Amino acid sequence: MRRRLLTAVMALLVVMPATVASATPSAVPTTTPIKHLVVLMQGNHSFDNYFGTYPGADGIPKGVCQKVNLLVKTTKGCVTPFHISPTSAPVDLDHGPAVQKYQYDDGRMDGFVAAYRRLGQDGTGAMGHYDGRELPYYWNLAESFVLFDRFFASTRAGNRESYLYWVAGTAPSSPDGVLRDSAGYDALPTIFDRLAARGIPAKFYVENYNPRLAGPASGSRSRTSQLVKVPLLSMSRFRTDPALSGTVVDLSQYYRDLRDGTLPAVSYVVMTGSSENPPSRVDIGQEAVRKMTSALMRSSYWATSAFLLTYDGWGGWYDHVPPPRVDAHGYGFRVPALLASPYARRGFVDHTVLDYTAVPRFIEQNWSLAPLAQRDAASAGLASAFDFAAPPSQARIVGATRAAPPPDPAGPHASTAIYACYGLALVFAVGLMVWARVRRAQRPRGRATRVA
Amino acid sequence: MIVVDLLRRGAPAGDAPGSPGLDVLRHDPRLAPRLGLTVALVVGAFLRLWQIGSLGLNSDETVYAGQAASIAGNPAYTDYFPIFRAHPLLFQSLLSVYYQWSDSDMAGRVLSAAFGVATIFATYKVGAALYDRRVGAIAALVLAVMPYHVVVTRQILLDGAMVFFATTGLYFLARYCGERLDRYALACAAAMGLAFLTKETAVVLWGGVYLFFMLSRTMSIRLPTVFGMAVVFSGLALAFWLALRLSGAARTGDNYVVWQLFRRPNHTLAFYAQTVPVSIGLVVVAVAAAGLIGRRLAWQEGLLLAWAVVPLAFFELMPVKGFQYLLPVAPVAAVLAGRSVMLVFRSQRVASWTRGRGRLAAAGLLALMLTAQSVAVWPVVSPTASATFLAGAGGLPAGREAGTWVGRNLPRGSVLLTLGPSMANVIEFYGHRQAYGLSVSPNPLNRNPAYVPVENVDRELRQGNLQYVVWDSFSAERSPSFSAKLLGYVHKYRGIAIHTESVAVTADDGSVTHRPAVTVYEVQP
């Protein structure tokens, strides 16, 4: 009996460190100074749609004009890229596999308008693009941290697959290339399983999370945004296993975790109401992202954090870079991706070829976990975006506007003008006073005034 | 002992105690005044530099120091402090030389204190020029320990430097009146030009010069001399306008003039009467005034009175009142007080009243003045234990500490909402973070053109454009309604106090308690 008790105590002592480690992410050993990773997936915009005119990035080439019909040689009536004004009507482009294939046009990337014309749609809107006027915060983030201009969607089409690659490094195949429902990947291992096995805390934050919308589903229920964006909800273990059931939570918990000091090591975030998925307004989503990142930057976690924003697909928008063929499913077109961290390179445009699996790859590298699938094992990860040799940059809240601060009415030569004018005046005045005193000294002193 | 020695200059040898050391003073009539001047300069420097950094800069000081740093192109300040605001830039230009290499907040105070000590010397010269060295030395001693002059010249304010140049101008004017040499008039205009380039309100002192020559029966000035003075002064004043034009900021000054002329009064008409005589020293004022009663006034008194009366009248009528605006009167009061002491020293009537001890009475009067001044000045130079004080009369309690904390702990790019623009200036100077004052009116007619209002505070807080709120007791006591409004925002946006700076406050029973002076809240959109 005494021996059993001793054994039990010894076992408890062995288990305790692991328990403590799971409660405090900062105690978990990492290969980099990054102790907290927050990744956010927004919806349906191409790189050129958001950053096509960003200086220093591989943006929209000069002279681009997309034909309206690929079957004719003439470029008459072709559509050139144009800036989407804030008053423009919202555009919601079809972005199914057929459209993607036509736009891709065997790597010629010239069917972005024609793909819609052949369907009887206008398609001109596909050539629209935003810039710093509509996306001030994202452009400011890019100027302060890292913008990826070779970040591709993991698959040619299908948002559901994008989220699966994001969390599992792979996605099950489907007959027509697009998963129609959320059933069929219940047993797929995810990065959350890997983290849980090591006792590393992780959460999946969902904006407007509805716990009743969970479980493998088909039909219209399966198409709900929440089930598409949160593959974990279609995996029964994340509902039934006590160790995993608390993984998916509402986004409001993210702010509580920041405030209460309970932010996990890895945080996945998706937006539903504040999605930028067209025809939703980009400024709504941008504002939600700003709120999230600002809260992180203001928190004590920022010094050891990294934040990655990317998009679940190109959304039908024009992009000029033909995606590399890495396997039967991908890559898809480029999507915007931004990385912010005190250790991120500053104002850096990263040309490393990446896809969504760079996220699980970075987690695996940072927390020494085994790869989930071939894609993530082969991914370059996010290492190129960091500079761990340099000291971390001071916490900084990125501005929401790109308007220059009120200009100083003084011009660039103000200092010179001031020194010249006031300096000359001072020399002249002092010289005059000294002259008066010196001349006085040369004259005989005569004092007639005395106290009355 | 020095006081008695100072007064005994030229006295019969038998009057002095038989100390061998004092013989030197009797044989060299210049030594005692020089000794008095030296004491005045040393004591004056001590009082202006003692614990000069015990309190951080207040709002006005941060503006002038920030301007100096911006002129120097110091990147830590250029985003927050535009070069051109309301006043000319001579003082700031001189201070900017320091900011080329460093950015300590105390450099400006040391420069201001240097001008204060130089003014003691200039006052000595005025007294010596108008009367004699003894009057000058007594005036220097009085000014050295005058709380009004000490408190202003311990701060980065333009008035201390301006008064130095103006007093120098007064000295040259006194020389002109005494010796009738035009070059003194031109030197006076040059000094007045520098005073104007330091603070434009110095132009008011020309009114005193005009009044003096208009009313004086014995003094006149030739038209060519006036023309020469006008050319010299105008030529120097042109530097102000020229710097604005060459910098492309010509309209900046106009905005301030319009605002200053039409803004609402910030104090009652009794403001100066309640604050300035006490700060100059009631004994000094009484002694200076007593010397003018019942005697026929010479041109010297006429000049001093004209020099003081015009700014008194002008700033009394001006809607905007500032504690330090009447500082040009301080050297005049000191010289008149010195004159009164010497009158007592020489007065036969006083000698008969005191049975031949008139000189001792004068010494007692001087000792009384200096003692009263010293008692009054000590709290000024000691660290304050109060959380309330008059604007322009000291530093801002805990402002520097709060601003430094902000700079060290809040992310760069943070934007703060403060109660008023004063704390916003302090936060921007020490914390290098953008700050906006809640009390800054959106109506351009009711606000300083330098300040940017928050048009819709709710919207900015809700959108996360303002991430922190700063409450301070100094501003709260000046505007309780805005304090309540600010704390309402803190409550509404789930503010969490993340830092508090406290100051020691002495209660009525003498006990010292710590009272929150500045609290920084983090608010959630």
Name the DSSP class of B410: S
Do both B371 and B505 map to the same domain? no
d(CA A434, CA A442) in angstroms, rounded, equals 13
Q: Which two tokens stand for residue A216?
A: 């493998």
Cis amide linkage into residue A279, ω under 30° from 0: yes
Do both B425 and B313 map to the same domain? no
Domain end (from B353, B381, B409): B381
Do both B469 and B376 map to the same domain? no
Name the DSSP class of B322: -
Domain end (from B381, B414, B442): B381
Q: Dihedral (C-alpha) B92, B97, B101, B105: value to the nearest 10 degrees?
A: -30
- Which residues on B lie below 8 Å from A418 (Cβ)? 71, 83, 89, 93, 243, 247
pLDDT at A21: 39
d(CA B266, CA B389) in angstroms, rounded, equals 15
Do both B417 and B376 map to the same domain? no
Do both B46 and B170 map to the same domain? yes
Name the DSSP class of B412: B
Closest CA in chain A for residue B345: A451
Whether residue B451 lies inside any domain: the answer is yes
> What part of A 424-443 touches B (C-beta under 8 Å)?
424-426, 428-430, 432-433, 435-437, 439-440
Q: Which of B233, B246, B433, B461 to mutate to test the interface with A (most CBs of A within 10 A)?
A: B246
Compute CA A28 distance to the chain's CA centroid, rounded to the nearest angstrom.
Answer: 25
Do both B351 and B474 map to the same domain? no
Backbone angles phi, psi at A205, to 5 degrees: -90, 135
- Which residues on B lie below 8 Å from A294 (Cβ)? 464, 467
Q: Which two tokens stand for residue B230?
A: 């006008």
Q: How many CB pairs under 8 A join A and B?
A: 169
- Facing B183 at nearest CB: one of A255, A429, A439: A439
Name which residue leads in pLDDT, A451 or B370.
Answer: B370
> What part of A 233-262 touches B (C-beta under 8 Å)?
255, 259
Cβ pair A451:B135 closer than 8 A: yes
d(CA B122, CA A441) in angstroms, rounded, equals 18
Largest CA distance in chain A: 118
Strands A337-340 and A146-148: antiparallel
Compute the mean pLDDT over every residue in chain A, rounded to the nearest whole number.
86
pLDDT at B66: 93
Closest CA in chain A for residue B169: A433
- Which residues on A lie below 8 Å from B452 (Cβ)? 406
- Facing B89 at nearest CB: one of A422, A437, A447: A422
Kindly report the CATH number assigned to the domain that includes residue B452.
Answer: 3.40.50
Residue B164 contacts residue B199 (beta carbons within 8 Å):
no
Do both B364 and B405 map to the same domain? no
Give the containing element (helix H, strand E) for B199: none
Q: Measured at the alpha carbon of residue A239, what is the angle toward residues A236 and A243, in degrees to the nearest 5?
A: 110
Residues 6+ positions from B523 with CB-CB distance below 8 Å: B461, B466, B467, B468, B469, B489, B490, B493, B494, B495
The least confident of A67-76, A435-444, B48-57, B235-244 is A435-444
How near does any CA of chain B get to the CA of A252, in Å?
Answer: 12
Backbone angles phi, psi at A271, to 5 degrees: -105, 145
Closest CA in chain B for residue A399: B413
Instruction: Find the domain containing A334 and state its range.
Output: 8-385
Whether residue B389 lies inside any domain: the answer is no
Whether residue A391 lies inside any domain: the answer is no
Q: Dihedral (C-alpha) B258, B260, B266, B269: value to the nearest 10 degrees?
A: -100
Cβ pair A449:B83 closer than 8 A: no
Reported as a pLDDT band with limits 50, 70 and 90, residue B472 is very high
Do both B328 and B471 map to the same domain? no
Q: Is the pLDDT of residue B25 over 80?
A: no
Residue B129 contacts residue B174 (beta carbons within 8 Å):
yes
Q: The complex's ipTM?
A: 0.86
- Facing A294 at nearest CB: one of B93, B168, B464: B464
- Which residues on B lie below 8 Å from A287 (Cβ)? 463
3-state secondary structure B35-104: HHHHHHHHHHHHHHHCCCCCCCCCHHHHHHHHHHHHHCCCHHHHCCCCCCCCCCCHHHHHHHHHHCCCCC
Whether residue B408 lies inside any domain: the answer is yes
Strands A248-250 and B512-522: unpaired
Whether residue A448 lies inside any domain: the answer is no
Closest CA in chain A for residue B523: A295
Closest CA in chain A for residue B415: A397
**Global confidence as pTM:** 0.78
d(CA A348, CA B60) in angstroms, rounded, equals 41
Cβ pair B467:A418 closer than 8 A: no
Do both B470 and B367 map to the same domain? no
For helices B107-130 and B329-346, what crossing angle results, to 10°?
40
Whether residue B386 lies inside any domain: the answer is no
Unique residue bearing structure tokens 């303002």: B466
| Percentage of chain B modeled with pLDDT above 70 | 88
Whether residue B394 lies inside any domain: the answer is no
Kindly report the CATH number assigned to the domain that includes residue A336.
Answer: 3.40.720.10
Do both B310 and B425 map to the same domain? no
Whether residue A450 lies inside any domain: the answer is no
Closest CA in chain A for residue B465: A400
Q: Which two tokens stand for residue B329?
A: 């009167």
* CB atoms inside a 10 Å sphere around CB B281: 28
pLDDT at A375: 93
Strands B496-506 and B512-522: antiparallel
N-to-C CA span, chain A: 115
- Facing A425 at nearest CB: one of B172, B197, B463: B197
- Facing B236 at nearest CB: one of A298, A423, A429: A429
pLDDT at A412: 64
Q: Which of A257, A292, A394, A451 to mutate to test the interface with B (most CBs of B within 10 A)?
A: A451
Question: B422-433 pLDDT, tens per residue?
Answer: 999 999 999 999
Residue A209 contacts residue A249 (beta carbons within 8 Å):
yes
Q: Which of B167, B165, B162 is nearest to B143 (CA)?
A: B167
Q: Which two tokens stand for residue B344?
A: 């007592």
Q: Which two tokens stand for residue B326?
A: 């009447």
Q: Which two tokens stand for residue A292?
A: 């999230």
> Which of A32-41, A222-231, B342-351, B492-501 is most confident?
A32-41
d(CA A266, CA A195) in angstroms, rounded, equals 9
Cis amide linkage into residue B98, ω under 30° from 0: no
Residues 6+ positions from B317 with CB-CB distance below 8 Å: none
Backbone angles phi, psi at A10, to 5 degrees: -60, -45
Question: A212-265 pLDDT, tens per residue?
Answer: 877 666 566 666 788 889 999 888 899 888 889 899 999 999 999 998 999 999
**Beta strands of B419-467 (E only): which ranges?**
434-437
Cβ pair B93:A294 closer than 8 A: no
List average pLDDT for each run of 10 residues in chain A, which is 452 residues long: 50 42 66 96 95 95 90 83 84 87 92 91 92 93 96 88 93 71 81 94 94 70 79 89 91 93 96 88 91 91 95 94 90 96 95 96 96 94 94 87 62 82 94 83 46 37
pLDDT at A1: 47
Closest CA in chain B for residue A398: B413
Domain end (from B328, B346, B381): B381
Residues B373-400 have a mean pLDDT of 68
How near does any CA of chain B get to the CA of A107, in Å?
Answer: 43
Closest CA in chain A for residue B252: A409
Reported as a pLDDT band with limits 50, 70 and 90, residue B218 is confident
pLDDT at B9: 45
pLDDT at B166: 97
Q: Which of B125, B186, B236, B347 to mutate to test the interface with A (most CBs of A within 10 A)?
A: B236
How near does any CA of chain B get to the CA of A349, in Å?
Answer: 22
pLDDT at A407: 54
Whether residue B393 lies inside any domain: the answer is no
pLDDT at B15: 38
> What part of A 399-418 touches B (C-beta under 8 Å)?
399-400, 405-406, 408-411, 413-415, 417-418
Residue A200 contacts residue A244 (beta carbons within 8 Å):
no
pLDDT at A138: 96
Cβ pair A395:B168 closer than 8 A: no
Do both B175 and B241 map to the same domain? yes
pLDDT at A2: 52
Compute the mean pLDDT over every residue in chain B, rounded to the nearest whole number.
86
Q: Which two tokens stand for residue A22?
A: 């799971």
Whether residue B387 lies inside any domain: the answer is no
Cβ pair B187:A437 closer than 8 A: yes
d(CA B344, CA A168) in angstroms, rounded, equals 100
d(CA A115, CA A127) in angstroms, rounded, equals 12
Do both B124 and B221 map to the same domain? yes
**Coil, helix or strand for B500?**
strand
Count up the domains in chain A and report the number. 1
Question: A351-393 pLDDT, tens per residue?
Answer: 999 999 999 999 999 999 999 999 999 999 999 999 999 999 8
Cβ pair B246:A439 closer than 8 A: no
**Rounded alpha-carbon distances, angstroms, from residue B23 to A22, B211, B336:** 89, 45, 29
Q: Which of B93, B182, B247, B434 to mutate to test the interface with A (most CBs of A within 10 A)?
A: B247
Whether residue A285 lies inside any domain: the answer is yes
Residues, chain B: 525
Closest CA in chain A for residue B192: A429
**Coil, helix or strand for B258?**
helix
Q: Is the pLDDT of residue B179 over 60?
A: yes
Count up the domains in chain B and report the number. 2
Whether residue B141 lies inside any domain: the answer is yes
Residue B345 contacts residue B11 (beta carbons within 8 Å):
no
Residues B501-523 have a mean pLDDT of 84
Amino acid at residue number A26: S
3-state secondary structure chain A: CHHHHHHHHHHHHHHHHHHHHHHCHHHCCCCCCCCEEEEEEECCCCHHHHHCCCCCCCCCCCCCCECCCCCCCCCCCCECCEECCCCCCCCCCCCCHHHHHHHHHHHCCCCCCHHHHCCCCCCHHHHEECCCCCCHHHHHHHHHCEEECCEECCCCCCHHHHHHHHHHCCCCCCCCCCCCCCCCCCCCCCHHHHHHHCCCCEEEEECCCCCCCCCCCCHHHHHCHHHHHCHHHHCCHHHHCCCCCCCEEECHHHHHHHHHCCCCCEEEEECCCCCCCCCCCHHHHHHHHHHHHHHHHHCCCHHHEEEEEEECCCCCCCCCCCCCCCCCCCCCCECCEEEECCCECCCEEECCCECCCHHHHHHHHHCCCCCCCHHHHHCCCCHHHECCCCCCCCCECCCCCCCCCCCCCCCCCHHHHHHHHHHHHHHHHHHHHHHHHHHHHHCCCCCCCCCC
Residue B93 contacts residue A422 (beta carbons within 8 Å):
yes
Q: Which two tokens stand for residue B148?
A: 């009004």
Name which residue leads in pLDDT, B144 or B412.
Answer: B144
Instruction: Find the domain containing B292 and state its range.
Output: 2-381
